Amino acid sequence: MKREALIGMFVICVAFLFLGAFISTASASTFHVPDDYSTIQAAIDAASIGDIIVVGDGTHVGNI
C-alpha cells in the first residue's frame, strides 16, 4: 500500500512538472514612445506588469 501511494505521488509530481514546462509564460514587452505609441499614457495603457516603457528624448506633453 505504501509503495502504491509513493508511486501515485511520484506520478502527480511528474505531471505538475510536465504541465509547468508547457504552460506559456508571459514575456515582458518593450514599448517605445513616440515610436510605438504617440503618448506616454497610451504606452502605459497598453502595458502589463513587467513590461518596459522607453521614453525618447524631448518634451512630452500630457497627463499621466
Each of the 64 residues of the chain gets a pLDDT tens digit; together they read 688 878 888 888 777 777 666 665 568 899 999 999 999 999 999 999 999 999 999 998 888 7
The set of cell numbers assigned to 14 is 511528474
**39 near 63, Cβ under 8 Å?**
no
Amino acid at the residue 36 = D
Residue 52 is given by DSSP the state E
The set of cell numbers assigned to 62 is 500630457
Amino acid at the residue 21 = A
Kindly report the number of other CB atoms within 10 A of residue 39's CB atom. 15
The residues facing 55 across adjacent strands are 33
User: Can you give the residue ranges of every domain in the chain?
Assistant: 2-55
The residue behind cell 509530481 is: 13
